[in-house]
Each structure stands twice: as structure tokens, then as C-alpha cells.
């Protein structure tokens, strides 16, 4: 659409921004990619280090302003928690003890609850329920701030259930490590934690995930830096029915099984297709990790999930780009082609650009937020659980609609030269009141605006527009929109 004369004059007079070509997208009001369940994070390993910090819990799981190391952060308002059931313990059993990869980062070995094969009774001394207190503490802080979706996930079964007793993986990385006589015992382990959490921690897990990137060939006990375990698809197919029946027998039949947390969209399609109908029937939710970034056939996985009637989550995403550029790019690709109903960042605190807040889990030290934190805030604070996900009509924006508040949310990024982005709401029954103020928030990728807010945008008929610098992310909340 044409840029209004008034804006051209304003910019011409003050010489702020030369007027460039602009682009328009029409939000597809009739589209519906499901009800948004939320945004989240996995707790291991940052919460093992920082699980007692209320300031971090405020920043991650509330919408309040939180002061972290003297910096006031807009709370991300995440409501999904992935709790990691550890695989590590220091005890010996009949002279046998855990084997460690020479490369393993001790902080990435998470203490597990089941110490030995003597007894499956959670009240027996074979279970140590006091371990891993900080990860549990953060989970409970999250809950008290409003988190309402909890997933229990495993990177590896307990070490003593593994052929080589090494929770970083098999000796060559590409073969199964769970002993074939322990398939059911692994299901007993996770189901027992789920029941114990319900009875003792006040946490009812909504889902349980037994496999983490199971088809990968890098879960290697000789070179691994963390816990991990390869599972052939045929093995997953045998474990899944045990997990279903062990959950059911503990009165947890409403707890979903999610699978298989493959590393890429393409691997997830291949694994899903490889499971037989019995195994597929046990799964309520397909999880996938977003490590294929700009590649992979997201649509193919969406089509598999949709035709099977399963929920679909991007259950783990992370990268080393501290600017937020890759993150916003990949979230948009996910909304446009994968259509997950939840999106989970891997580690809140980490180094090397991976963290939303830079820190060192092992040293227990924190510095400041990355720009990626503010880019993610542009999404998590506005696209909220319960909203209907819409087709934005373009590859530079996402859109969601709050049916009860009659609010339309658009988050957009401008990759190219500075220009106006125009948004056409003409497909809505009521596109809002012409002249209404549209609040907007802005974060500049890399540096600049950090979730700054402005009230300088108005609806003009059924359209509005905003001037975007190169690499600027803006969020808009349009009031009074009726489908």
C-alpha cells in the first residue's frame, strides 16, 4: 500500500528516514493453526546451578519486571517447564559403578533418583528422593509464578540400566545402550518419578518423554560431554508400550507420552513413520527439536502430526547467536510451516551466545542478558496461552488472536533496508476501530532498542503500518478485532 502523505512529510521534514519501498501482508483471518499452549524452557542444566534464585524465576516464569544482577528485565512469562530425570549416581552396586566419559562436563551429569536394581519400591533405600533439589526448586518456583505445563524428560536411563554403565552413551555412539532386559525398568523409573512428583512435589506432569535425540549417533560414552543415549526406532517401539502401561498402572493414564525429541524435523518424520501403530497409539504428542534451523521439511512433520491427531511441540531450540537474529528467523519458520502449539528454549543461562542470560553453570556466575532475551520477550509476552494461531500471510511475521479479549497480536521483523511494513486486517469481521491506538514494542537485533514500548501507531481503516529499521523486531497489539 501507499505510505500516507502525512508520514512522508514528517520524515521528509525531519530528514529522519528516507521513504523506501514498503511491503504489505494480509493477515488470514480464517486460518487456524491451533490453540497456543505456551513458551517454555528445559531446566537441566541451568536450574541445577541456579534453581534457588527467585530473581531468575521472576524473569523467566512471570510477566513482572525482574531485577537480575542489577538489570531490570521484562519477565518472559514462560509457562512450560521441562524437568530432566537424571541418569547419574555416585553409589556402587556389587562393586560396579558408573563409568564417565573422559570429556564429560560434570555439570551435565544430572543426579537420578533410582540408585540400584534391588527394589522398585519408591519407599525403599533404592531411591534417593532428596537429590537434585535445585532443579526441583526452580520447577516449584515456576509453578508458583503460573507455569502450568510440565514435561518430564530423560537424556539417558540410569547408568546401571546401560550396557556400558556410561550415561553419555554407548561406546560408539550409534548403538543402543539400554540393556534389553531393562526396557520395562526404564519405564518404571520415569513412571515412578511422575507418581512421586504428583504425591510429594505438587507437580502433575502433563507429559513424559523417554528419548532425547534417539536416532543421533553422537551419544558416545568415550567422547560425550553430557548425558545421552541412542535408541533404535525398533527399541523405542518396544519401550513405548511399557511406558504407557507403567503410567496407567500408577493411575497416570491422563499423562501424555511425547516422542521422540529428534534433533531435526527430517529425523522426526523418519522416526514417526518408522513406529508401528501400537507404538504410535501410545504417543499423545510429537516432540521435535529445532536444530535444523533454516532447513528441513517442517510441513512434512506437521502433516504427519495432523493426520495422526497428535499435538506437535518444538520442545527444544537453541543456538549460539546471541543477537536474536537466528531465533526470530527460526520461530517464524516454525509458525509458518511446522505449526507447533508450544515452543521451548533449551537453556536460559549459558555461555557462548547460547544463553538468554550469559552465565557459567559450573562456576555459578552470571553476567547480563543477551539481546536474544529481548527478542524472545517480543514473542513470549504477547503470544499467550489460549490464543489462536493465525497465518500471517508472509515469512517475516507471526500472528495470533485472543478470542475473548478481541486482541490481534503481530510480531514482525524487517531483514532488509529500512522500510514501512504495512498490515492489512481487511479479512477480519471488525478490524478494530479506525483511529485506535496500537501499542507497539521494539527490539533491535544485535543492539539498540531492548523491548522499548511506544504508543505512536494507529489503525487507519483496516490497515496500519510501522517504520522498521533494518533488523528491527516489532510487536503490535491491535484492540477491538473481531474475527
Which residues are identified as catalytic? 213, 316
CA distance 23 to 171: 54
Query: Between residues 173 and 355, which has the closer beta carbon with respect to ligand NAG?
Result: 173
Out of 90, 276, 320, 403, the only residue in the binding site for ligand NAG (CB under 6 A) is: 276
- Pick the stretch among 121-129, 143-151, 277-285, 440-448 that binds ligand NAG (CB under 6 A): 277-285
CB of 175 to ligand NAG, least distance (A): 4
Query: Between residues 164 and 437, which has the closer beta carbon with respect to ligand NAG?
Result: 164
Residues contacting 405, CB < 8 A, separation 6+: none
CA distance 418 to 392: 20
- CA distances from residue 255 to 37, 150, 151 in whole angstroms, order as listed: 16, 10, 9
Strands 419-424, 207-209: parallel, antiparallel or unpaired by DSSP? unpaired
Segment (H or E) for 424: strand 419-424
Q: Is 5 left (phi over 0), alpha (psi -120 to 50) or beta?
A: alpha
Query: Between residues 183 and 428, which has the closer beta carbon with respect to ligand NAG?
Result: 183
CB of 151 to ligand NAG, least distance (A): 24
Out of 30, 72, 277, 307, the only residue in the binding site for ligand NAG (CB under 6 A) is: 277
Residues 405-444 within binding reach of ligand NAG (CB under 6 A)? none
CB atoms within 10 A of CB 69: 14
CA distance 332 to 449: 20
CB of 220 to ligand NAG, least distance (A): 10
The residues facing 93 across adjacent strands are 96
DSSP 65: E
CA distance 476 to 441: 7
- Pick the stretch among 3-11, 272-280, 304-312, 321-329 that binds ligand NAG (CB under 6 A): 272-280
Query: Between residues 222 and 463, which has the closer beta carbon with respect to ligand NAG?
Result: 222
Out of 279, 300, 400, 410, the only residue in the binding site for ligand NAG (CB under 6 A) is: 279
Query: Between residues 11 and 222, which has the closer beta carbon with respect to ligand NAG?
Result: 222
CB of 231 to ligand NAG, least distance (A): 13
Select from 334, 328, 330 the least CA-distant residue to 472.
328
CB of 301 to ligand NAG, least distance (A): 21
403 phi and psi angles, rounded to 5 deg: -65, -40
Select from 398, 362, 443 the least CA-distant residue to 108.
362
Select from 219, 209, 215 the least CA-distant residue to 231.
215
The residues facing 349 across adjacent strands are 357
Question: Using only C-alpha atoms, what is the Rg of the chain?
Answer: 24
Check residue 223 for interaction with ligand NAG (CB under 6 A): no
Out of 278, 295, 303, 320, the only residue in the binding site for ligand NAG (CB under 6 A) is: 278
Query: Between residues 85 and 279, which has the closer beta carbon with respect to ligand NAG?
Result: 279
- Pick the stretch among 11-19, 128-136, 276-284, 289-297 that binds ligand NAG (CB under 6 A): 276-284
Out of 79, 143, 215, 237, the only residue in the binding site for ligand NAG (CB under 6 A) is: 237
# of chain residues touching ligand NAG (CB under 6 A): 9
Residues 152-211 within binding reach of ligand NAG (CB under 6 A)? 172, 174-175
CA angle (450, 451, 452) in 5-degree steps: 90
CB of 172 to ligand NAG, least distance (A): 4
C-alpha cell at 33: 493453526
CB of 481 to ligand NAG, least distance (A): 47
Query: Between residues 39 and 219, which has the closer beta carbon with respect to ligand NAG?
Result: 219
Q: What string of DSSP letters covers 373-408?
A: HHHHHHHHTTS-TTPEEEB-SSSSEEEEEETTTTEE
CB of 377 to ligand NAG, least distance (A): 44
Torsion of CA 450, 439, 399, 208, to 10 degrees: 60
Query: Between residues 212 and 236, which has the closer beta carbon with respect to ligand NAG?
Result: 236
Summarize as ranges the residues that interact with ligand NAG (CB under 6 A): 172, 174-175, 237-238, 276-279
Amino acid at each position: 500500500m501507499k505510505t500516507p502523505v502525512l508520514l512522508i512529510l514528517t520524515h521528509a521534514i525531519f530528514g529522519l528516514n528516507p521513504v523506501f519501498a514498503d511491503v504489505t501482508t494480509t493477515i488470514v483471518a480464517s486460518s487456524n493453526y491451533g490453540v497456543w499452549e505456551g513458551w517454555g524452557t528445559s531446566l537441566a542444566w541451568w536450574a541445577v546451578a541456579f534453581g534457588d534464585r527467585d530473581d531468575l524465576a521472576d524473569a523467566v516464569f512471570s510477566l513482572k519486571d525482574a531485577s537480575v544482577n542489577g538489570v531490570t528485565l521484562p519477565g518472559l512469562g514462560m509457562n512450560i517447564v521441562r524437568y530432566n530425570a537424571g541418569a547419574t549416581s555416585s553409589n556402587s552396586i556389587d562393586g560396579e559403578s558408573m563409568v564417565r566419559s573422559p570429556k564429560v562436563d560434570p555439570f551435565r551429569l544430572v543426579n537420578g533418583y533410582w540408585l540400584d536394581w534391588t527394589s522398585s519400591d519408591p519407599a525403599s533405600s533404592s531411591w534417593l528422593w532428596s537429590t537434585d533439589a535445585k532443579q526441583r526448586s526452580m520447577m516449584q518456583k515456576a509453578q508458583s509464578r503460573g507455569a502450568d505445563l510440565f514435561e518430564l524428560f530423560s537424556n539417558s536411563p540410569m547408568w546401571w540400566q546401560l550396557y556400558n554403565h556410561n550415561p553419555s552413551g554407548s561406546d560408539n555412539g550409534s548403538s543402543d545402550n539400554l540393556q534389553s532386559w531393562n526396557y520395562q525398568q526404564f519405564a518404571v523409573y520415569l513412571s515412578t518419578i511422575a507418581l512421586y512428583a504428583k504425591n510429594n512435589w505438587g507437580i502433575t506432569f502433563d507429559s513424559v518423554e523417554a528419548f532425547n535425540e534417539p536416532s543421533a549417533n553422537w551419544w558416545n560414552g568415550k567422547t560425550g560431554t553430557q548425558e545421552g543415549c541412542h535408541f533404535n526406532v525398533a527399541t523405542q517401539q518396544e519401550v513405548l508400550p511399557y511406558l504407557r502401561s507403567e503410567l496407567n498402572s500408577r493411575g497416570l493414564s491422563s499423562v501424555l507420552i511425547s516422542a521422540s525429541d529428534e534433533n531435526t524435523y527430517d529425523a522426526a518424520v523418519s522416526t514417526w513413520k518408522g513406529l508401528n501403530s501400537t507404538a504410535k497409539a501410545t504417543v499423545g504428542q510429537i516432540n521435535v527439536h529445532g536444530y535444523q534451523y533454516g532447513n528441513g521439511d517442517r510441513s512434512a512433520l506437521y502433516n504427519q502430526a495432523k493426520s495422526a491427531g497428535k499435538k506437535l511441540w518444538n520442545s527444544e531450540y537453541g543456538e549460539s547467536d546471541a543477537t536474536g537474529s537466528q531465533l526470530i528467523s527460526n520461530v517464524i519458520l516454525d509458525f509458518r510451516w511446522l505449526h507447533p502449539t508450544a515452543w521451548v528454549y533449551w537453556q536460559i543461562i549459558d555461555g557462548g551466545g547460547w544463553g538468554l542470560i550469559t552465565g557459567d553453570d559450573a562456576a555459578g556466575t552470571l553476567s547480563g542478558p543477551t539481546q536474544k532475551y529481548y527478542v524472545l520477550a517480543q514473542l513470549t509476552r504477547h503470544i499467550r496461552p489460549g490464543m489462536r494461531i493465525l497465518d500471517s500471510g508472509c515469512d517475516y511475521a507471526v500472528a495470533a488472536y485472543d478470542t475473548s479479549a478481541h486482541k490481534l497480536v503481530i510480531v514482525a521483523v524487517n531483514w532488509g533496508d529500512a522500510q514501512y511494513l504495512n498490515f492489512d486486517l481487511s479479512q477480519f469481521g471488525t478490524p478494530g476501530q479506525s483511529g485506535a491506538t496500537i501499542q507497539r514494542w521494539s527490539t533491535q537485533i544485535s543492539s539498540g532498542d531492548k523491548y522499548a514500548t511506544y504508543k505512536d501507531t494507529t489503525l487507519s481503516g483496516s490497515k496500519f503500518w510501522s517504520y522498521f529499521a533494518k533488523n528491527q523486531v516489532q510487536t503490535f497489539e491491535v484492540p477491538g478485532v473481531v474475527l
